Structure 1
Amino acid sequence: MHKLNHPRFLIPATMDKGAVYSCIISTVLAFWIQTNVAGFEVWINTNPPAVEFGDSLEVNCSTTCADPSMTVEYKPGIHPNRTNSRDWITDRFPSIQNWDLVVPCSIICLSDNNKLKEEKKVVTVYNRELKITSPPEVLKVNKTYSLECIGPRVYPKNKLILTWLRGSEIVQRVSTGEKGSPDEDKRLWNVFNLTASGSDDGQEYTCLAEVDLGSNTTKPITNSSVTLQTYYPPTEAQVRKTADDWIEGKSQTLSCNAAGNPAPQVSWIKDEQIYFGEKLHIPSVQLRDGGQYVCRVTNEYGSKISSLNAVIMYKPQNTSISVNNKTVSGSPIHVSKGDEVTMTCDTNGNPPATFQWEAPSKGSNDETGPPGVLRISRATSEHHGIYKCRATNKYGTDENEVDIRVKGQTSARRLAAKVLGFTSVAIIAAAVLITMIIYFRNKRKESKKQQE
């Protein structure tokens, strides 16, 4: 069994016969070269490579010498369970009870003119007694504190590495070049000084103990962690809104995100009025809700502010019309034949509205000018009537109208009405005249009869 564990006899179980034969030939050739060219070799292997005090250990000493005389001796009082063969000795320790464990392996190769080779290996022995000294429960920002880590007992002492990690990042690593004494319990310390910051709040710091196995490899044996808590002023005051636009009649909610310890108090300032709470809800936005909103977050260590300017979006309203720079108040506007007439439409709305005029007829000498302006260069009868202005943006429409009357111009209908009126009066007057004539004639006849 032990020969198969030897580096020269590692043969995978899945290897085919050809590969096995090739492996055997290569091994025999390597053995022949070692024994006949380079001389014999001596190895000491331990399993595990570093052992915890009280755990079991297996030590194997082997050689390439074909005819060796092997000796493996420990200091007095150490008695392993041993098995051996011609070129190997295996010692088993059910429980390691000594901090100083040196394995000296001496081999005299009788087939190589009694040459002597000795190997010695110091087995690293450790325990897991690691202790960290925590800082105060709550740290103040910008103040310096010490994180202390006392490592476990390890011999040789120079095999121990103590590392402070911030999360997974190494911040400080220490070791010593001194082997120390196996009879003294002198621990390695790693003291890390940190200046507390807001980012340390909730941050985990870990002290990791490892033993050096050589060849740039280590074995973690124990660790301990502490989570920091810090007091710090607010680091941000960020205002957010639920709706992209402030639309008249729609709801809007503002929230202010604050980070700090202790948790900051959040307040809002709008038009010199103060509101408290992380959220500010407006169920129905009105024009008066426009303006600047200031969020202020405060704790005992400081404060921070952030602001947002609200611009209200709303449909056109209060649309008005002026004629020749005079605002229309609702009664008809009289202009004279041949006058120049300029009608201007104005409205309130956000975003700005577009304008559309609706005229009673399409005059030959009227034109639109700047937005909302309709100009009649020379008024005629065809310009008589009601003019409508329609203002529109993405949120709605509003309109107004004006009645334009052109003086000095009689239409056929009005002329006919006047003629009809004169005719009716003339007929009535003639009828009255005839009635009176008949009446007086009858009176005269009656008078004559009475005289006769």
Structure 2
Amino acid sequence: MGTGGHGDGEGDGEGWGDTRGVRLGATRCPWLRGSSVSAVAVPRGHHPALPLVGLLLLAQAGRAEHPSSSAPVPGSSPRVPNSSPDFASGDPPFSLSVTGSASEVSYGGAALINCSTTCADPNATVGVETSLTKEEAARGQGWLAVRLSNITEPVSDIVCYSSCFGQRKVSSFRMLAYDFPEPVLLVRDPNTTYNHLVTLSCSAAPSQPPGVQLRLRSRRRPPAPWQEGSVSVQLTVHEEDDGDEFVCDAQLWVGDQMLNKSSDAVKLNVMYLPQLDDGSCPPSQNWTEGEKVTLRCQARGNPRPHVVCKKDGTSLIPGQWHTAKRAHTGTFRCVASSKLGTVGCNITVWVQYHDINVGLIVAVVLVVLGALAFAGITYGIYYRKKKIQEYQLRERQRRLEMEQRRLE
């Protein structure tokens, strides 16, 4: 039998509860040592009354062993805390526990229940009351094992009772019985092309108890309402449906427990034509000469399209890096292609650069050369005049020296 998660309240199929396993306490039944049982909540809004035979047995046992004790009130909850009963003066306390081989069984399945007490009274009685088909499996001092078969009630409370030194205790064990098949999602042709119809079918085998509800759910669409019986939907798929995942959810109420299951997800593969837009392929792009650049142009499509841009025999592949040149200035024709078709657009590239002014450079050079020539000529004239003056000064000194010698 498949197991399902337990939910609370009106579940929408999105969340999953959990089944928490609790370890069984010490038991006097050798077959149930080490077994575990899941905690089960009390059904909301009602508590199943004990069978009339069980109530009479409990009442008769109480009157026979302790005349002052009162019988259980019909319709009250069968679950009585083990630690809260009153004890007669001087009577030792005792505990009562009931465990099972499973808290959830398949519809029509079987289970083993053990009822045990720590009472030291050799005359203590231990009994099990249930509306299910039962047979005694084994009995010992202070314990009783009962085998339940053909369990078809969705929710059953098995009552364990014991009398010890005139004091009575009652404990209960809740058991769920159901068949909850796995939901199945069938998608006719999940690999399709845009604008085609896709049929999705969500179904499940009959459940016990009946009343399983189904719905279709996807990541990108709101979930469909719950309904009993198979769910079939036809969708006209578009580009945005590519990659969407669909799931078939199932839920089943068992008593006050909400069980949930989901099928494996099925992903749609929608093929559509290549597409180019201004967002992914800007129509105007500015570059600077000498920088590393790439032509920005990305196309959408399934299968993925290949994009090539050409201008005057020059081909550029978007995404590849290259050095911007002045020759790249102009309009490129970009074409995206796949096996479904092609689509194109124009991109204008502007390359910024700086021209060298040859005339200005020549003028500057001439000015510099002229300045150097003028400076050279000026310095030559100055140097010649200086030399002449030095010569004339030396001649005068020589004449003066000669005249002085003549006078002497």
Greater strand share, structure number: 1
The structure that has the greater radius of gyration is 1
User: Normalising by structure 2, what TM-score?
Assistant: 0.49
Q: Compute the TM-score of the two structures, normalised by the length of structure 1.
A: 0.45
Which structure has the higher relative contact order (CA within 8 Å, separation 6+)?
Answer: 2
